[in-house]
Structure 1
């Protein structure tokens, strides 16, 4: 036994030799502030004679019974793993143990509200922390059903992945809740939330006619600030959108959303029992950027019910399949199903800028990362897995066609429901619906790191007529991959005080230079915007004439997404020392006052401060800083 850090090789071997049928987990939450009781019974099959271990991070193990034989806990348990030798074809294991509450947001977290002294519990199991609550084969491809029974104070609200049953009340003021078994799911998306939470309930009708109970939970001392009706409204919009686009009804029996204290992340997609940071319970007025971010997060976790919970990656190297897809799908749903129609603008200026920044650091990695063990997973919840992955999925949608992309996703859900997959399983379905071979595309986009730079190159005659036009592509020396891009080019001209797009062409760009014959013979516009509509993942450049027009007139472009692409382009070229810092300052000070998108304002003002303090010529830095401050 080798501690908490499960390796991929160990997981592969274990999955080849065992298959888990069911867990019954009985939790006693009445043992004080330090520990709780956990009795786990696991039914599983195995290769006869196989020796392995079950994960169980415990404070004490009272008994271990394997196929009716009592094992010595001192001999088989080291506090992290329990050794299981000479297995039968069919096995029943019962572990009686105690485990510790945490206050780090791992396992079963215990919080005491300083306002009223009430105790609140919730679980956080991703990546490998369900083993901190019960004995479990802790890897995503050993799916099983989970049946939880919990004994806790009678006055508490108790919820898990399945609908909450009527409790059996006891004379000492406690009660026991016995939940129905879950569908086959991975251990890391099981959940328990318990305490005197304030709850608002509602329901909706799923696409298959089922009534799905809904709940919004928060601690009592925050309940006056919880705008549950708005959360329900966004949830209903998301349900309708995803069920329609995925052509697959919501796969679980209820949907609770719980805003929990001291949460160490933004949210977690536990099946039917999603937890969120309390930062999303607004106790005062917040910016539109924060309000929109909450909507995207709500829909991100809802998208996970299909991508991650219904169909789960086999091992953590395909974590991007979960997170990139949820990032992409939630932005799409926010833009098309809610009042936040400019979600792709927010995505471009915040998520993509995060991705571009991380993709240019020495720590960058391919979207499909090499994850040899659990420790390696932790460093991959980053801008590559989330933001670059989501960007590349948007690019893939443009590459194969949006309708074909969603049709392939629907087929993927139907074929692999309640199972586990790898990257190739999704690509097979997308190839079938689109007719495009994605083998090379996958290698170039998902299996290599780095970001390309695209810039227009053109010549004109004396009358301003374009005589040649191409897109030039470069790659950094450390990651010299030239990639195919599906992208658009927009021509913008000043007209009646507006900078208006009056021509657009969409094409495949590949190689170091791609001729664009469709633009030859047209009059050169005032501003040329490559990657218009932000289909591609690449840094883009403005030609010098377009930059001058942008500095003077960016505010006159009506489309927020187009504006965000110009903001991002000039920021990138300033960061790369191709554009003078003073030009970026001119762009911002001349155009930011009328910017409509809250996240754009928030992001660009941060970039402005960095440019003024660090990027401009030291000889003029003080004068520029005073100018920005004024």
Structure 2
């Protein structure tokens, strides 16, 4: 939408001019059940540093009826254009602005999202304002450093619930008048409105009492495990308040599971919204509960990192996201009584692989990114901002010490509560408490892009004793198109030495922790020590780097990867093998054999499920095309064997059932899926519940064995919002030209689908064994993507630009078509970044396929 961008320079000028005191926001949502638009009245009190100055306030609205500045009505037609209201002739000192507008409900997950539950046919609303979407609901100075207090007055239908940042008052004549918030940024204000179900409790400790609430739609209430959610929440309150030495800063803490949410969750102050897929309707593995707990703790950490203290501008987004990620996982790992003390294993094998992938794309950027405008930040919620940033913080903690780190954090919160900060504010506090000069560290880690590779150099004497051990550090060239130069960085790492014990387990026999700097670092290895079976660099995963094994360690790991006694070194070796596969250093067929040889002994269910995803991705994209079917057949046979061998009713059984369903291909395998659906086949302990049924139905639809009749019948069994999404995905997955054309038209040629259904249709449309059927859509994609980007909201356009890019068409012609489009279309920076990232994936897949083909010849 033209006019919705905001540059850093514009924001800086506005911040120098204005101090915003308060917003009074009145919303008439009494017609929410019918939809359309709603009346929004905003009154802003602000101060200007200059008399006669001019600025603007942001608003995205179908209609503006009245603008009154300091008692004078402005000409709306002249003042309101391009989603901005021009404000001129400001008073020096206090100013008052009132804006009366009609704002629109959305179905895109931006602004005030409206959803109608097919179960009760009731409307449910929630806001999503990050990055710049408060302006879709009320007029606002939409930038994080213009904090103010916010008072909401809301009219809603009788019997509905209204939740905001402040505690919910008793309504009078269907009107809720909330108390003003503390000074916060506009993007963390919130409203959640509708006939929501709720459960209430409190956090009590040492005289402190914080009201707690959990909300969901009534159709999900039977599945809401509120006791487990409250338990994790209280664990977070205990640990964060101790580590931060700052009491929870808001009046209450509500967690609201809302429908059709684009992200995992959002840290609205005191009113966190979370995707309601985290209310589990069917059996899930413990990895899903661990992921939900991390999300809960991540958002709670944001109450301090981001909400209490907020970055001044979006280039310091990492101050929010990296810290929330690091502290949430640290809480899981270290909090007394945590159910997930091995959370760093999950981090190493999931989030860090995300970071490594992101850091090798042409869009790689420093953790402290150069954010020129809102378009930049909208595509910057990525693996660098979250996972690489958290990895670097983990290293910083190892570098300065955990106690010193949190002492610095405590000083930071006390100094900047309810204010805005830059990188230097936090580093200054950490330098003060740690005694370390962090400027060099910051330059190397936060202000440069790219990833380092660490390799061991080992020399032995004739008897097999280690005479020399060194760490060789490399800084590979940045990807083509990336900005900056490769950098060698300081690393704080541990080196683990592992040997096989009498039970065949790989156990750590010694550990050396040291700083690695420059191209080569000598390791103080004890003299006359026999060579360990495995020498593992970056043991305990303290640093952020790609790690390679020496030849002998790789041989032992290949034979005994599943025999590590602890889960974290296993995860590090799995991650290294996966990285080598992506880099074309390990053939896909060899990666498959490595996984098949070691996964039987892998006890960590999160690692098992990561391996399932990675093997499937490797076979689909990185396998030599002429061998792919053989590889998929071998993998699918293995998944069925593991499914039948797994302990009945176990997490591993469920994970293998899903892996089998994803690739079932022979008539006998597909007959088994059908038999499990209709009850003619059973596997002891396997509950074929609602979500697993849909996994089977979608696979049967994708191979042409289920059509509209069967899909509709399954939807009749599950007439819910989730069932509607699953059915949409199944329909678009069918291997029929007309099914693909219908799906394409519903997403690309029409804008009627809500965000969640559009995402479902796209996911079904892209089937890895339908390459030939999908090939004509490459040309259609490039013909349409620019127009879609211009016409749709950011979230909807990004789904299409990423989801429908022809990633499966791994060929030189796809790269050429992408290059031709990039050269001729002149896309804006955000769209160019997304398309370039997808192009990089095809380029990587080509290289990996060549490596796999070469392995066959060898």
Given candidates 301, 304, 317, the residue that maps to 1:303 is 301
Determine the C-alpha separation between the residues in 2 that align with 1:581 and 1:594.
Answer: 21
- How much does 1:407 deviate? 1.1
Partner of 2:59: 56
Mapped to 2, the partners of 1:578 and 1:178 lie a distance apart of: 62
Residues 199, 214 of structure 2: 8 Å contact kept: yes
Distance apart, 1:579 and its partner CA: 3.5
1:431 aligns with 2:437: no
Higher percent of residues as helix = 2
Aligned partner of residue 535 in structure 1, secondary structure: coil
Q: Is the 8 Å Cα contact of residues 111 and 129 (structure 2) preserved in structure 1?
A: yes
Alignment of 1:554-569 (within 5 A): 554-569=561-576
Provide, for residues 96-119 of structure 1, a one-character-per-residue CA deviation record: whole Å limited to 9, x for no partner: 111111111111111111111111
Picking from 18, 37, 42, the partner of 1:40 is 42
Distance in 2, Cα, partners of 1:176 & 1:614: 55
Per-residue CA deviation, residues 450-479 of structure 1 (Å, 9 max, x unaligned), is: 110001001011111111110001011224
Alpha carbons of structure 1 residues 617 and 128: separation in structure 2 relative to 1, 3 Å: closer
Question: 1:307, 1:325 within 8 Å by CA — same for their partners in 2?
Answer: yes
Match of 1:261 in 2: 259
**Residue pairs, 1:323-472, within 5 angstroms:** 323-337=321-335, 338-472=338-472
**Contact in 2 for aligned 1:257/1:276 (Cα 8 Å):** yes
Q: Secondary structure at the match of 2:525?
A: helix
Q: What is the aligned partner in structure 2 of residue 551 from structure 1?
A: 558
Q: Give, in whole Å, the separation in 2 of the partners of 1:561 and 1:178.
A: 51
Q: Which residue of 2 aligns with 1:73?
A: 76
1:626 offset after TM fit, Å?
A: 4.4
Q: 2:598 aligns with which of 580, 591, 598?
A: 591
Report the CA distance between 1:625 and its aligned residue.
4.8
> Any conservation in 2 of the 1:350–1:603 contact (CA below 8 Å)?
yes
What SS does the corresponding residue of 1:153 show, helix, strand or coil? coil
Name the CA distance, whole Å, in 1 between partners of 2:612 and 2:597: 13
In 2, the alpha carbon distance for the partners of 1:362 and 1:162 equals 43
Q: Per-residue deviation at 1:520?
A: 4.2
d(CA) in 2 for partners of 1:219, 1:242: 29
- Structure 1 residue 595: Cα displacement: 1.1
Partner in structure 2 of residue 496 of structure 1: 502
Larger mean CA deviation between 180-189 and 521-530 belongs to: 521-530
- Which range moved further: 419-428 or 76-85? 76-85
- C-alpha contact (below 8 Å) 2:36/2:105 kept by paired residues: yes
Aligned residue among 93, 96, 117 for 1:92: 96
- Kindly provide the CA deviation profile for residues 129-149 of structure 1, in whole angstroms up to 9, marking residues without a partner as x: 001111111100000000111
Q: Do the aligned partners of residues 462 and 613 (structure 1) sit closer, same or farther apart at CA in structure 2, a change above 3 Å counting?
A: farther
Partner of 1:220: 218
Counterpart mapping for 1:466-485 below 5 A: 466-478=466-478, 479-485=485-491
Contact 2:468 2:525 (8 Å CA) reproduced: no
- 1:513-568 per-position Cα deviation (integer Å, ceiling 9, x unaligned): 00012344322101111100000100001111111111221222111011101111
Question: Are the counterparts in 1 of residues 2 and 82 from structure 2 also a CA contact under 8 Å?
Answer: no
Structure 2 portions without partners, runs of 5+: 479-484, 638-858
Q: Residues 68 and 289 (structure 1 numbering): CA distance in 2 closer, same or farther, change over 3 Å?
A: same
- Corresponding residue number in structure 2 for 1:19: 19
Q: Distance in 1 between matches of 2:528 and 2:430?
A: 37
> What CA distance in whole angstroms lies between the structure 1 residues aligned with 2:529 and 2:430?
36
Structure 1 residues 465 and 449: alpha-carbon distance in aligned structure 2, compared to 1, 3 A threshold = same
Could you tell me how far apart the structure 2 residues matched to 1:386 and 1:93 are? 38
Q: Deviations over 1:231-279 (max 9, x none)?
A: 1110000000100011111000000000011111110000000001111
| Mapped partners of 1:531, 1:381: distance in 2 | 27
Task: Give the aligned partner of residue 186 of structure 2.
Answer: 187
CA-CA distance at 1:594 after TM superposition = 2.3
SS of the residue corresponding to residue 96 of structure 2 reads strand
Please report the TM-score for the alignment, with normalisation by the length of structure 1. Answer: 0.96
Q: Mean Cα displacement is larger for which, 139-148 or 385-394?
A: 385-394
Q: CA deviation at 1:586?
A: 3.2
For residues 619 and 44 of structure 1, what CA distance do their matches in structure 2 show?
A: 67
The answer to whether the Cα contact below 8 Å between 1:349 and 1:603 also exists between their aligned partners in 2 is yes
Quote the Cα distance in structure 1 between the aligned partners of 2:242 and 2:623: 50
1:108 aligns to what?
112
Residue range with higher mean Cα deviation, 24-33 or 542-551 = 24-33
The RMSD of aligned alpha carbons is: 1.7
Does structure 2 conserve the Cα–Cα contact (< 8 Å) formed by 1:206 and 1:249?
no
Which range moves more in the overlay, 69-78 or 136-145? Answer: 69-78
Q: What residue is the counterpart of 1:204 in the other structure?
A: 203
SS of 1:329's partner is helix
Which structure features the higher share of strand residues? 1
Candidates 537, 540, 558, aligned match of 1:533? 540
Structure 1 residue 70 displacement after superposition: 1.8
Q: Spell out, residue by residue over 1:398-437, the C-alpha distance to the aligned partner (whole angstroms, 9 max, x if none).
A: 1111111111111111100000001111100111111111
Task: Report what 2:849 is aligned to.
Answer: none
2:555 counterpart SS class: helix
Alignment deviations for residues 343-368 of structure 1 (CA, whole Å, 9 cap, x no partner): 11000000000110111111211111
d(CA) in 2 for partners of 1:51, 1:42: 16
Secondary structure of 1:490's match? strand
Cα offset for 1:614? 5.5
Change (3 A) 1:67 1:486: same
Partner deviation per Cα, 1:287-315 (whole Å, 9 max, x = no partner): 22211110100000000000000000001
TM-score normalized by the length of structure 2: 0.71
SS in 2 for 1:224: helix
Q: Distance in 2 between matches of 1:3 and 1:463?
A: 73
Q: 1:611/1:132 Cα in 2 relative to 1: closer, same or farther (>3 Å)?
A: closer
3-state DSSP of counterpart to 1:223: helix
The structural deviation recorded for 1:91 is: 0.6
Tell me the residue number matched to 1:172: none
**Change over 3 Å in CA distance of 1:10–1:622 after alignment to 2:** closer
